[in-house]
Every structure is written in structure tokens, then in C-alpha cells.
Amino acid sequence: MLTSKRKAHLIIFTAFVLGVAAGASGQYLLSQQSPSRPASTATGVADELTRILKLDQTQRLQVIEVLGECQKKNQDLKDQTRPQFQAIRENGRNRIRALLAPEQLALYNEWVRDLDAKREKRASEEVKK
């Protein structure tokens, strides 16, 4: 026979286990329902539009050409404005650096290096597309 103290422990443990199971199940379901990523290349978009709009081969080639030109213009604009964004970012970083103690500054500079490395990796991947 279980004492009331043991029953209470059993109820709490059961509630905990059921909570973990429900949370894990919910997380699994959410991860399975993530929307598909849109096509990111001109050819990928053209393939998707061909499927949806039933484009003929001439239209598909023209769509690829238009999308390629747009991607080129977008990249050119990014290249033109990148120095301005970098200047704004560096100004903000310098203002933050002025607020920090020396031990904080070392950690901040390391964090900035990691962030810049990730940004560079993303930028190089965008150029490859």
C-alpha cells in the first residue's frame, strides 16, 4: 500500500514525465511542419514557375534570363552599399567597445570576429548561388 507521501511523489513524477513527452512530441511535430525553402537560383525559380504556370520552353528560358539579370543587379547593389553598412557597423562596435571593461573588451572582440566570420561565409555562399 502506498503512503500519501509516496502517492504525491508518484503523481509529480508522472506529471513530469508526461510533460517531457508532450513537449518532445510538440517539438517533433513543429520541426516536421517547417515550410519548404523557396528556390534560390534562377533555374530553381524557373523550374518552380514552369511547374506552377505550365511555362513553355521559350518562356522558361526568358524567365531564367530575367531572374539572372535581377540577381546580378541585386548583387551589384549589395557590393555598392556594403562599405556604408560596414562603416555603420564599425561605428556601433566602437561605441560599444568604449563602454566595456578590458576583460569584457577581449570577449567582445572575439565575439565580433566570430560574427564577422559567419557573415563572410554567408556572403560567399550567396555569391556562389
Task: Tell me the three state secondary structure of residue 85.
Answer: helix
pTM of the model: 0.53
DSSP labels, 47-83 = HHHHHHH---HHHHHHHHHHHHHHHHHHHHHHHHHHH
What is the distance in angstroms between the CA of the first residue and the CA of the last residue of the chain? 68
Q: Can you tell me the distance from the alpha carbon of 53 to that of 63, in angstroms, rounded to the nearest whole number?
A: 12
Q: How confident is the model at residue 107 (pLDDT cuts 50, 70, 90)?
A: very high
Q: What is the pLDDT of residues 16-62, one digit of tens each?
A: 888 888 888 888 777 776 555 566 789 999 999 999 999 999 999 99
Q: Can you tell me the distance from the alpha carbon of 85 to that of 5, in angstroms, rounded to the nearest whole number?
A: 63
Which residue is listed with cell 556594403? 82
Which residue is listed with cell 555598392? 80
Q: Where are the domains of the chain?
A: 8-128
